[in-house]
Chains A and B, each alone.
Chain A
Amino acid sequence: MKESQDIESATVQLSPVLETTGLPGLPDSKERRYDRQLRLWAASGQSALESAHILVLGASPTSTSILKNLVLPGIGAFTILDDGVVEGKDLGANFFLETDSLGKNKAEEAIKHLGELNDSVAAHAETRALESILDDDPTYLHKFSLIIAENIPQRILERVTALLWDSSTGAGDGDADADASQTVAPPLIVVRTSGFLADFGIQLKEHSIITTHSDSAASLRIDKPFPSLLAHAFSLNFDKMDVTDHGHIPFVVILVRVLQEWKNDHAGKAPSTYAEKQEFKQRIVKMKKKDDEENFDEAVAQAYKAWTNTIVPSEIEALFNDPSTKNLTANSDPFYHLVHALQIYTSQPPHTLPLSATLPDMKSDTKSYIHLQRLYKEQAAEDKARFTDILRGIEAGAAGAGGGGSVALGMVDDFVKNAHALRLIRGKKWTGLTDDVEALTLAREMAPAAVATHLSLSALYAFEGKNGRLPKPGDGADREEMTAWVKARLTATGWAPEPEPEDSAMTGADEEEEEPMPKEITLWEHVTNAVGEVSRAPAAELPTTAALMGGMVAQEVIKVITKQYIPIDGVCAVDLASSTTGTVKV
């Protein structure tokens, strides 16, 4: 109570300077508290976070670290499920338990100390055992936005993954019951840690992202100028301009004009050979009235845009052919309606994505720049209107078929703005790499260290599943058993230990390259290191490992919940002994 009052009284200060200006006042307390993150995911991301309810299985050090990083930015609610009692070893590694917690329920104690980080977050404890929930109340799990499972024994984990995967009918299945209303089970993040090693992966059916925050910029359409841009480029009389104005013509205008003139001389073709491209650049240089005209230098530097064909990127094209777009129903995710509308849109001339209204900064005077910006904005608005018409048409058709509402305007805006950088991730049921021979074969070549870490953790789980106990720390026989398990998985992919150096030199029949690769650590050395590390301290919840995983997993949760930025697609393996990470596709 007291604390929240303090925030309020600290904020309601009005700004004397802004009085009578008609400008909005200072940011409110919430905007100020979340200022540093709103600069990343904006109000839309924040409101998604605030609507989410996360379930975490187990009040381990890693679990509370993850939650800390979600409570601070203001997740709506969280629940910790744990039927255990706090022991000395728990609170020694867990910052969110204290001495008073000893002997009490772990979930209840942890939520107390996590909850105090942010008054606006609802904290719940679930003290039933996970297995009894799975037995008696399996739909319990479905009410959450996302579930995190850390260090859950294999036997129980398999029940959780199956429950969530099999009950979820992603539209991607494209099967007979596609018309039925879908149940989308919450995504599950599986986290495993052992001493210095850890890994995690996300089990989700599909995840579409509009606001990817991609670094790639949308096309400026230099090669396919829209009519008002082309007209503008030719409305200017470059020769008659005074030196100052000439030095402030935006490079976009210069390029559009030079390209059109070039095409007129070259049967409508853009420069294609190296010589032509050089000649094109020379044309621009020759137009300079003064040596130091930066706008012309910018035009030369950006000249490649003149011969970069503005087409629909292949990744976006792939979305058109996605089963979910093909088998669109009234109940499909709005994303697929938008993609379908985009497909129709791009099938019409000029066969490009809708224009982006965003114009980068460039050397120019204010008037020329603002004018050019207005041309882009107007065309972008026109393109969006055409896109929206198509979309509404699709929706009307769906409504006739008994389907639902229309995509919100804000989402249409975002979609059009980011149409060049959309992403779709399709996941698999979480099994790790254990049984996926194809993925493992590829991964062991691409990322041997990550594969070694991942398989060693899997070996630990398999050991525990088989023997009903964890390996004894440092025990040779237990280590051998885990090593053998890993070797069997690798052998199944056709892998064999690297032959002795003399052997490979003698036989030469091997398809492996003969060149010595000095000091390159082999897959098997990685495995020996990783299994050795797991064997050293099989169940150690190292606080730094927990904190690091807490950060990484929280980043992924934020990305999944806000549908902004791009979550991992595969398994991320972390080795804090060698200070490395790697991601392998599963």
Chain B
Amino acid sequence: MSVAVEAPPAANGASSSSPQYPDQYYYVDQILDRPGPRTDEAFSAGDPVKSFLREQCKILVIGAGGLGCEILANLALMGFKDIHVIDMDTIDISNLNRQFLFRPKDVGQPKATVAAEFIMKRVPGVKVTPYYGKIQDKDDDYYMQFNIVICGLDSVEARRWINATLVNLVDPENPESLKPLIDGGTEGFKGQSRVIFPTISSCYECSLDMLNKPTAFPICTIANTPRLPEHCIEWASVLEWPKVHADKKMDTDDPEHISWLYKVASKRAKEFKIEGVTWQLTQGVVKNIIPAIASTNAIIAASCCNEAFKIATTAAPFLNNYWMLIGTDGVYSYTFEHEKKSDCPVCGGETMDVEVGKGWTIERLIEWLTENQKIQIKKPSLSLGTKPIYFQAPPQLEESTRPNLEKKVHELIPEGGEVTVTASTLPFTLTLRLAFV
């Protein structure tokens, strides 16, 4: 409001959470200086909460694209001062209609680096540490350093990876190992944000079946009975490209590759009297382009950051646990709790602590499993990470892992090692955490 307001009571004494210039956090402080009607009792108004937010809290932003740029700006203004950002992409001209930290001169530069520099220049006192690379480059120790992780990604695969990584990170002995994961996504005028407490609430994997499945056309339609321009484009990319270019991989970011597909698809369309093949449609189909606009990204990023702020400060209850927005017909949003799936391969299943005798062989361990009344398991198969320990089938793998049966457990599995057990009698997966006695 453009009306003078009485200053809120001055904070008691300045600390290093104090601003870079007077009143930097004037508005945010009004929220942090006193609880609201729905604020949790654990909220410690004033300096304690401010000092946690501004001196201790370390937050990771995954993705510096459409959502990422917005997330970084919001976090900086809300008072998060130690922000890290990962992105493996470089800036493309088609990013500029929404990724507002980038300018035409930045095209070709790494997103993470340019975004970090921009934020630090614009918001004094904030440190943004960029990493130009893949999330998979980083190990558990890296992810362990953060209090909260926010994702603004456009890939299902990357989301599944970080989700599984954060679920795996949870150590029941160490409260710090549980990292709230906030995930946002948009498509056109629609979007969603959600809060995941790994192992406690529904995780990304639990809701995998809510995703729209990727559009795929029958390959025989593509080959023989094309009816739509898309069928002609798929013919060019799925069937003709490998035939003509043999081992040369198609690069959907290379305009000449798109042009080639466009040319081939146009020819086929003409042959079949199909209308509507364009360069843009070709690019859209082969890159699976999802429409994206600044305003929707702003909404979803703001929602994600609002939840991060509430989790970090307890200033208000956080989202439990899914918020979806549809802006095509008025403004419709729906807040609901997505249920955790008990048979989720990432956060579901059971974990058992097993005390393994010094002399136990793998065979003995399997015997112990099948005799255990509590789990009622038949014909279990065991692996450690990606390495099979003993597989009941198929024959070749059974044969190649059979020699392991006679080996001592400790020769194959380290202390505290976690063994994945599957069996047809188990609807979920079982994890054994081994201790040698």
A–B touch (CB < 8 A): the answer is: yes
Q: What are 27 pairs between A and B in contact, CB < 8 Å?
A: A6-B104, A15-B255, A16-B256, A18-B262, A33-B97, A39-B289, A73-B294, A88-B26, A95-B77, A365-B225, A366-B274, A369-B225, A369-B227, A370-B227, A469-B6, A529-B38, A536-B35, A539-B3, A544-B306, A547-B73, A551-B295, A551-B296, A556-B331, A567-B330, A568-B330, A579-B306, A579-B323
Q: With A370-B274, A577-B317 given, is the CB distance from A536 to B255 under 8 Å?
A: no
Q: How far is the CA of A364 from the CA of B274 in the complex (A)?
A: 14
User: A27 contacts B25, CB within 8 Å?
Assistant: no
Closest 4 CB pairs of A and B: A551-B298, A88-B23, A551-B299, A532-B37
Interface residues of B in 4-57 (CB under 8 A from A): 4-6, 8, 19-28, 30-31, 33-38
Asked whether A72 and B328 contact (CB < 8 A) given A547-B74, A577-B316, the answer is: no
Q: Are A579 and B319 in contact (CB under 8 A)?
A: yes
Chain B contacts for A407, CB-based, 8 A: none
From the candidates A95, A529, A543, A558, name the one contacting B37 in the complex (CB within 8 A).
A529
Residues of A within 8 A of B (CB): 2-4, 6-7, 10-11, 13, 15-18, 21, 23-27, 29, 31-40, 58, 61, 65, 68-69, 72-74, 84, 87-89, 91-95, 98-99, 102, 116-118, 151-153, 195-196, 212-213, 248, 361-362, 364-366, 369-370, 464, 469-470, 472-474, 528-529, 532-533, 536-545, 547-548, 550-552, 554-556, 558, 565-570, 572, 576-581, 583
B77 touches A92 (CB 8 A): yes
Q: Contact between B103 and A544 (Cβ–Cβ < 8 Å)? A: no
Cβ of B329 under 8 Å from chain A: yes
A33 near B93 with CB under 8 A, answer yes
Say yes or no: B94 contacts A36, CB within 8 Å. yes
If A92-B77, A93-B77, A370-B274 touch, whether A470 touches B227 (CB-CB below 8 Å) is: no
Q: Are B2 and A152 in contact (CB under 8 A)?
A: yes
Q: In this assembly, does B98 line the interface, its C-beta being within 8 Å of a C-beta of chain A?
A: yes
Shortest CB-to-CB span from A95 to chain B, Å, is 5
* Cα separation A11 to B123 with both chains bound (whole Å): 33
Complex partner residue of B105 from A3, A33, A34, A362, CB under 8 angstroms: A3
Q: A3-B104, A555-B295, A572-B330 are in contact. List 17 more A-B contacts (CB 8 A).
A: A7-B93, A32-B93, A35-B94, A35-B283, A73-B294, A88-B19, A93-B28, A152-B2, A153-B2, A366-B272, A536-B31, A537-B27, A538-B1, A540-B27, A544-B74, A566-B329, A579-B318
Give chain B residues whose Cβ lies under 8 Å from the Cβ of A580: 323, 333, 335
Pairwise interchain contact A536-B36, C-beta atoms closer than 8 A = yes
B384 CB within 8 Å of chain A: no
- A566 to B329 alpha-carbon distance, docked (Å): 5
Given the interface pairs A89-B27, A576-B306, the reply to whether A102 lies near B317 with Cβ below 8 Å is no
A69 touches B295 (CB 8 A): yes
> Do the beta carbons of A37 and B93 come within 8 Å of each other?
no
A529 proximity list for chain B (CB < 8 A): 36-38
B356 located at the interface, meaning its Cβ lies under 8 Å from any Cβ of chain A in the complex: no
A547 touches which of B5, B302, B317, B318 (Cβ 8 Å): B302
Question: Are A36 and B316 interface neighbours, CB within 8 A?
Answer: no
Q: Is residue B360 contacting chain A, with contact meaning CB distance below 8 A?
A: no
Q: Could you say which residues of chain B place their CB within 8 Å of the CB of A32?
A: 93-94
Q: How far is the CA of A94 from the CA of B317 in the complex (A)?
A: 25
Q: How far is the CA of A581 from the CA of B316 in the complex (A)?
A: 16
Contact B297 A26 (CB under 8 A): no
B280 at the interface (CB under 8 A from A): yes
Q: Mark B264-275, 1 if CB is under 8 A from A, else 0.
A: 001000001110
Q: Which residues of B contact A95 (CB under 8 A)?
A: 73, 77, 122-123
Say whether B301 faces chain A, with CB atoms less than 8 Å apart: yes
Could you tell me if B306 and A539 are in contact, using CB atoms closer than 8 angstroms? Answer: no
Q: B428 at the A/B interface (Cβ < 8 Å)?
A: no
A192 closest partner in B (C-beta): B1
Partner of B122, one of A74, A98, A369, A539: A98
With both chains docked as a complex, state the minimum distance between the C-beta of B201 and any C-beta of chain A, in angstroms.
Answer: 14
Among residues of B, the one whose C-beta sits closest to the C-beta of A13 is B255
Contacts of B331 in A (CB 8 A): 552, 555-556, 568, 572, 581, 583
B8-A93 in contact (CB<8A): no
B105 touches A2 (CB 8 A): yes
How far, in whole Å, are A6 and B94 apart by their CA atoms in the complex?
Answer: 14
B333 adjacent to A581 (CB under 8 Å): yes
**Which B residues are in CB contact (< 8 Å) with A537?**
27, 30-31
User: At the interface, yes or no: B132 with Cβ under 8 Å from chain A?
Assistant: no
Complex alpha-carbon distance, A581 and B224, angstroms: 49
Instruction: Point out the residue from A7, A533, A538, A572 that lies within 8 Å of B104, measured CB to CB.
Output: A7
Cα(A117)–Cα(B97), bound, Å? 9
Which residues from chain A contact B335 at a C-beta distance below 8 Å? 578-580
Docked-complex contact B36 and A577, CB < 8 angstroms: yes
- Distance in angstroms from A558 CB to nearest chain B CB is 7
Chain A residues with Cβ below 8 Å from B226 are: 366
Are A552 and B299 in contact, with the CB atoms below 8 A? yes
Interface centre among A91, A92, A93, A116 (most CB of B within 10 A): A92
- Taking a contact as CB atoms under 8 Å apart, the answer to whether B34 and A551 are in contact is no
